[in-house]
Amino acid sequence: MSEGKGWGKTVLGWFVVQDGANQESAGDFGSPTVDAAAVEPPTVAHADSALAEMPQVFEKDVPAAPGGVVDFDAVFDAAGIGMADRERIGKSVELLKSLPAGTDPTVKRQIVGASLKAFGVEIDKIIETGVEQIQALEGYIRNGASETAKMSEESETLVRDYEQKIAEIRALIHRKVEEQQSVIKHCNDKKLEVQQILEFFGQETVAKVVRESPRLHEPQPKQ
């Protein structure tokens, strides 16, 4: 259906574009189920450019989504969409859902249109609020993508800094171990050099001097 295929470009591409039966159902004012796993979020790399392409739709700070759970009323409120308008959209959706699945699209429009007029609701107002909600949801997605991109970039920078510091510390330890091994070798070589003189005088003579000198300490056996 051409009308269904055109929905994806109606509001700057912010509608969820589907294919096959779901797309046709959407064009006929149906309420198809969207597979969340199949809808790819904006990539982190393009988050900033995506935000630049979309006008600011929020009048105040957007709510957090702990655990990925979205408070839609808070999102719409941040976008300046009044409660009365949100309730009208909600009632319209419920009315649409209450119609039999096999109802002809034209009949659906007539029933929904007549019901809304009976309640004094302007069709244009419903459309305006619906588009506002879609704008708000798209803005919320992109806002989250931007925050995720920023956090990811900052975290990657922090990780790189820590990795560099760890590498520097490991290199320092390696150099220190090598230096200590060199110290041990050179000191032992010097000890052997001096030891040759002591051995010349004999072990007993050396031991006697060590015992009688207040400046010397008899070596203790290693534990």
With 70 as the cut, is the pLDDT of residue 106 above it? yes
pLDDT in tens, 155-203: 999 999 999 999 999 999 999 999 999 999 999 999 999 999 999 899 8
Residue 113 has, within 13 A of its CA and on its CB side, a CA count of: 8
Least confident of 45-54, 130-139, 184-193, 210-219: 45-54
Integer angstrom CA distances of residue 31 from 138, 140, 152, 195, 200? 18, 21, 35, 96, 104
Residues 6+ apart with CB under 8 A from 212: none
Contact (CB, 8 A) for 89 and 133: yes
In this structure, what are the phi and psi dihedrals at residue 69, rounded to the nearest 5 degrees?
-90, 125
Integer angstrom CA distances of residue 108 from 22, 88, 124, 130? 17, 17, 17, 18
pLDDT computed for residue 49 by the predictor = 53
Confidence of residue 52 (pLDDT cuts 50, 70, 90): low
What sign does the dihedral 76-77-81-83 (CA atoms) show? positive
The number of angstroms, rounded, from the C-alpha of 218 to the middle of its chain's C-alpha atoms is 66
Which tokens sit at 158?
Answer: 């922090």
pLDDT computed for residue 61 by the predictor = 93
Q: Using CA atoms, how far apart are residues 95 and 84, in angstroms rounded to an integer?
A: 16
Contact (CB, 8 A) for 221 and 213: no
Number of H helices, E strands in the chain: 8, 0
pLDDT computed for residue 48 by the predictor = 52
| Rg from Cα positions in the chain | 39
Higher pLDDT: 51 or 197? It is 197
The number of angstroms, rounded, from the C-alpha of 188 to the middle of its chain's C-alpha atoms is 57
pLDDT in tens, 207-219: 999 998 999 887 7
| Mean pLDDT for the chain overall | 81
pLDDT computed for residue 112 by the predictor = 83
pLDDT in tens, 64-93: 999 999 999 999 999 999 999 998 888 888
Percent of the chain clearing pLDDT 70 (strictly above)? 75
pLDDT computed for residue 219 by the predictor = 77
Confidence of residue 51 (pLDDT cuts 50, 70, 90): low
Confidence of residue 34 (pLDDT cuts 50, 70, 90): very low
Q: Using CA atoms, how far apart are residues 154 and 160, in angstroms rounded to an integer?
A: 10
CA angle 98, 8, 148 (to 5 degrees): 100
Reported pTM: 0.60
Residues 6+ apart with CB under 8 A from 114: none
